[in-house]
Amino acid sequence: MSLLIRNGRVVTAVDDYHADIFVEDETVSLIGRDLDVEADRTIDAAGRLVIPGGVDPHTHMDMPFGGTTSADDFETGTRAAAFGGTTTIVDFAIQTKGHSTLEGLETWHEKAAGKAGIDYGFHMIVTDMEDDRLWEMRRLADEGVTSYKMFMAYPGVLYVDDGTLFRAMRKAGEDGTLVCMHAENGIVIDEIVKIALAEGKTAPKYHALTRPTRMEAEGVHRSIAIAEVAGVPVYIVHLSCADALEQVTLARDRGAQVFAETCPQYLFLDLSHYDHDDFEGAKYVMTPPLREKWNQEHLWRGLGFGDLQSISTDHCPFCFKDQKVLGIDDFSKIPNGGPGVENRMSLVYNGGVVGGRLSVNKFVELTSTAASKLFGLFPKKGTIAVGSDADIVVFNPDRRETISIDNPHTHHMRVDYNAYEGTEVQGVSEIVISRGRVVVEDNVWHGRAGGGNFLKRGLFGGPF
Ligand code: URP
Ligand code: ZN
Ligand code: ZN
């Protein structure tokens, strides 16, 4: 099967030129002007950007959490991702406390196999790591799971103490892998939560008011310090605020191997979304919470200056009616997380490129290339080059859509609300190609459950 994409404006993290792209089977085989080749199918991309498929390095499909399970599984979640122009996700497998991480990996393979419609990899969430289990980490790396996530938040659930953190970090550094950190002081936060509940403060907004930005900044500072001593590069996930960003910037300025992502929710939504008398604010109960709006300009600056490398979604949807309601009388019981995997590319293009904050190359870097480099997928993923996987998006930079659960062009996620309801965006993914196959065209799904492959990722290849 061959595919010719003609007349497009090819944009990668570094290039911007008009050319034709010839795809044979799953890979790009030729790029040039007015290519003289026969193809099984030709797509005219005149007036369109032709960009690498998005790489979202932070999703939670089919994740048991907060007494329920995230609403998108690998089939519905990856399909929605593809509609939005994302062709690779890196999801989080979980080690059950006291059990082998390899068992956890097996469970997540079972969840994804035969379901994922686009390619996917796994990080491993480590929930304990005694000395006699450390050998498993090298085995995970051999299996292509070359990054871990550990939590300073959620005591009693996913939280690990600093000793565990250090042990696992040291081994991860020896093995050439990367550690992702949920950096928030969960021990202190849980004390603040107890005080709030004792005072009868049970509404969703108290989720945000009990998680001060200083406690995120403290977690970022501490995890970086421990990682420096352990000798491992660290990637701060879902960084939400200026306070935390300052810690990343300071560490990078002194040469520490620190990387960080933020997410659309922290760039486009803010604390005011909790200002509802009813339970509506539960839609935005995620961790870290939405912050005061002024933080957003600091995050954009961090993205522009390179202190934040990537924009992921932390897609972890829970239905408002059936799942968020678990915390109707107590905000601490609201399942944490929100939807977004489908809307990331349009939101970032609109807020970044149309908004005059990012170049079009930076847009590609933040939504695709950087994550693929950090997580051992480059140059297979994250760029358009001869030999790369033909994960390509034909992106209309002029088309506008209003994001809404009622707009069939913007919502395919299996969740009963859209966090960006009513937001108008300019810039829409129109044709989405995954390893040479058109999986989305004219807002119709042409992919298949199981069409996505598990990606064995390489070791950490930095510094970048
Ligand atoms: O609220 C969130 N972020 N839920 C997903 C789990 C996590 O901490 O990333
Ligand atoms: Zn987290
Ligand atoms: Zn997450």
Q: Which residues surround ligand 3, an ion (CB under 5 A)?
A: 314
Q: What is the pLDDT of residues 120-164, one digit of tens each?
A: 999 999 999 999 999 999 999 999 999 999 999 999 999 999 999
pLDDT of residue 276: 85
Atom of ligand 1 nearest to the CA of 58: 9
Measured between alpha carbons, how far apart are the two ends of the chain, in Å?
36
Domain boundaries, the chain: 56-374
Cβ-Cβ contacts under 8 Å for 135 (sequence gap 6 or more): none
Atom of ligand 1 nearest to the CA of 158: 8
Tell me the C-alpha distance between 300 and 204, whole Å.
27
pLDDT of residue 422: 98
Atom of ligand 1 nearest to the CA of 237: 9
DSSP codes joined into one string, 46-63: TTSEEEEPEEEEEE-TT-
Ligand 1 atom 2: residue of nearest CA? 337
The pTM assigned to this predicted structure is: 0.98
The percent of residues in the chain predicted with pLDDT above 90, rounded, is 98
CA distance to 105, 134, 455, per residue, from 176 (Å): 19, 14, 18
Any atom of ligand 1 within 6 Å of the Cβ of 70 = no
Nearest to 101 by CA among 90, 91, 92: 92
Atom of ligand 1 nearest to the CA of 285: 1
Q: Are strands 2-11 and 16-24 parallel, antiparallel or unpaired?
A: antiparallel
pLDDT of residue 350: 98
Tell me the C-alpha distance between 14 and 287, whole Å.
33
* CA of 59 relative to ligand 3 center, distance in Å: 6
Any atom of ligand 1 within 6 Å of the Cβ of 287 = yes
DSSP codes joined into one string, 346-399: HHHIIIIIITTSS-HHHHHIIIIIHHHHHTT-TTTSSS--TTSB--EEEEEEEE
HSE-CB at 120 with a 13 A cutoff on CA atoms is 32
CATH architecture label of 56-374: Alpha-Beta Barrel (3.20)
pLDDT of residue 23: 98
Any atom of ligand 1 within 6 Å of the Cβ of 336 = yes
Ligand 1 atom 5: residue of nearest CA? 337
To 10 degrees, the CA torsion angle through 65, 71, 75, 80? -120
Ligand 1: which of 151, 287, 324, 333 to mutate, most ligand atoms within 8 Å of CB?
Answer: 287
Q: Do residues 121 and 457 make contact, with C-beta atoms less than 8 angstroms apart?
A: yes
Give me the phi and psi of 20, to 5 degrees please: -100, 150
Ligand 1 atom 4: residue of nearest CA? 337
Atom of ligand 1 nearest to the CA of 92: 9
* CA of 112 relative to ligand 3 center, distance in Å: 17
Ligand 1 atom 8: residue of nearest CA? 287
* CA of 316 relative to ligand 3 center, distance in Å: 7
Ligand 1 atom 7: residue of nearest CA? 287
pLDDT of residue 462: 74
Residues of the chain with pLDDT under 70: 463-464
* CA of 187 relative to ligand 3 center, distance in Å: 19
pLDDT of residue 277: 78
400: DSSP letter:
E
Q: Residue 420 is which amino acid? A: Y
Any atom of ligand 1 within 6 Å of the Cβ of 182 = yes
